[in-house]
Amino acid sequence: MPNTQVSLYLSWSLLFSVASAANAAAQYSERSETPGVAAAVDVSGRSVKNKRVRAIHSNNPSDMGSTAYFIKRDPFLAYQLGRNLNFREFRTRDGVFSAIADLGGPMPDGTTAKITAHNQVSCSGCHNLPQGNPGGGTNFSKDSGFGRQAPHYYGAGIVEMLAIQVRAEILSQIDTNSDGWVSAPEAQAAAIPVRVQAATGPFGMLEYGNPRLSGGATGSPSLNNIFRVWYVDAAGRVVPGATSVDGLTTFGYNFGMIVWGWGQGSGRSALNPTNRAFLWDPWNAHGGLQAFDPSTLNDPDGDGVSLPTLSGAIQFPATHQAPDAGNQRDPLGFSLDDPDGDGYLSEISEGDLDLGEFFMLNAPRPAFAGTNAEYRQGVLAMAAMGCTDCHTPNWTIRSQDAVFAGDRRLFDIEVNFDSVAQRLEGELVPLYTYLAGTYTPNRGSFQIRGFFSDLKHHDMGAGFAEVDFGGTVNTLWRTPMLWGVASGFPWGHDGQSLTLRDAIMRHDGEGAASRQAWLAATPMERQAVLGMLRKMQLYDIETLACDITGDGAIEASYIVAGMATGIERFNAEWLFSTPARIQGPITNIDGLTILSSCVVNVDVAYGQDLTWRKDSDDDGWPDVWDNAPLQAGFKDGVNN
């Protein structure tokens, strides 16, 4: 929206106010009230409290209520808003579903439909163990009738950073003139195989395939299938539809790691290369909500790689673009394209993706609920069986320099098992510098223990074979990260393994030797592995006992805004610039005194009255982005 339009609207809007109580009663996905006031109550404090308002993207932190403002000035609120977008149950008034349970596709044969589309109103419909967290566990049919296990995405920011880091390290070895792509001469001169150092130690060197072209000066590279390759002209610009280097229209290639997705078969890689794509793709496929995302398309040199988003992640428009192209735009700046023709415009905004991506970037890691000795014994036993050839235990995020982006997170939660208290306990570790009201990530290095994946696709043979709906057989799967595996029931890409032992016994193809070593191992060695894996756990982030003040202790009665909130824990609401204030002790219908965690200052704490977020008519369109800010119009700000 041009600044003149914003200024004119703001001057005008000061003359008016509006309340829309009728809408509040129907908001089943939002529970922001206190007991006895309205039906939308949740005294646990776990439900979504903020209204559904499309977030407005901005690069200027001075735009109060924009995404740059939240990420730079109030990052824990940005995290919580992103968290709530991840788990919000979208409604028909938000544009969810243009149809219900229709078929989407196609499969590799070009005809057979793949996923059953339009079947979830929330990410938590699949990622729900534990509920209200970036969990997983749900099994649903995607490529075949056997199913597909939804993985957890705890530590999603680390996964994405490693994927981008691996690409950067490989590119730095091959791209000798540092122009951002691999020319045919550079490919011919490249070392075979290309190698990446995951971490120091015995399990750290990984091979990712052959970067040379199959025909010498022409052809295609043979990188590990987890990479998706595209081809470029003499200036490094994407040549749409090209399938190889031919020396006539294409003179080199570029690539990205497709880190999210179990694997789609030879030459097809997986699903999503970044957390941002991991948001807009399922929102579209499962919820019928199309995202408009100029940040992904921000590729000024046309090489298929965008400039970094507000969260610092490059995107890959050469292979992944959000479904709403925004070819037509309203003067206020939102897309008029409406890809599914349901009349609801900009169903997911660029700003929504900013906030959802920021939550995923900072989503805490899984934990190990055991001793260091138990961990070491398990790793050594896995190494002896050859398991660590693929399940790489440790990684290092490299510090920012000319090649690497560094750790882009704002914080980490270090979680360990307290053997005395017999519980997991956390410590909030700031990874930022705070100066003049602005939070800036330090972008240092970070040591990751217990990741257990080489981020590669492997042929797992008949044990993990899947015949898809169209008859194609796939045996190529990504090495799953084992952190959190104890909470991962069921196991396997298809969710057909009901025990960890069963998942191990299905290893075939490239995993056959490890299965044989497992069978030949002593009971004590097998128990060392299973004992370790069973302690690699997820946890409920918001109830985890956690030192968030940095004083080295966990308070039994933590005071926020003058009210005792229970044990000190990582609830991002306590860390807002204006902390959420809970209702406190109440008498319930049974006459018992309980602690109500309903928030009584929702508008102020959640920034719902800030200039770029205020939605006077409660239609999901912020006033500064609304052609009729005092008339509810859920479809486009004007029409219902």
Output the pLDDT for position 137.
Answer: 80
Q: Measure Cα distances from 547 to 478, 553, 570 in Å.
A: 36, 6, 8
Question: Is residue 455 a contact partner of residue 259, using CB atoms and an 8 Å limit?
Answer: yes
As given in the structure block, the two tokens for residue 427 are: 């410590």
Question: Phi-psi category of 132—alpha, beta or left, where left has phi over 0 and alpha has psi -120 to 50?
Answer: left
Output the pLDDT for position 72.
Answer: 98
Regions of the chain with pLDDT less than 70: 1-28
Question: Is residue 467 a contact partner of residue 112, using CB atoms and an 8 Å limit?
Answer: no
**51-70 residue pLDDT tens:** 999 999 999 999 999 999 99
**Displacement of CA 169 from its chain's centroid (Å):** 22
3-state secondary structure 122-170: CHHHCEEECCCCCCEECEECCCCCCCEECCCCCCHHHHHHHHHHHHHHH
3-state secondary structure 433-462: EEECCEEEECCCCEEECCCCCCCCEEECCH
**372-405 residue pLDDT tens:** 999 999 999 999 999 999 999 999 999 999 999 9
- Partnered with residue 406 across adjacent β-strands are none
Output the pLDDT for position 104.
Answer: 87
Question: Is residue 55 a contact partner of residue 606, using CB atoms and an 8 Å limit?
Answer: no
C-beta atoms surrounding 345 within 10 Å: 24
Selection from 87, 103, 11 nearest residue 48 by Cα: 87
Round to whole Å and give the CA distance between 520 and 196: 31
Output the pLDDT for position 15.
Answer: 33
- In the block, which residue shows the tokens 């959802």? 356
Q: What DSSP string describes 599-638? A: ES-HHHHTTTTSTTT--TT-SSS-GGG-SSTTS--TTTSS
Output the pLDDT for position 382.
Answer: 98
Round to whole Å and give the CA distance between 298 and 118: 29
State whether residue 513 is helix, strand or coil.
helix
Residue 219 phi, psi (nearest 5): 105, -155
As given in the structure block, the two tokens for residue 637 are: 């700000």
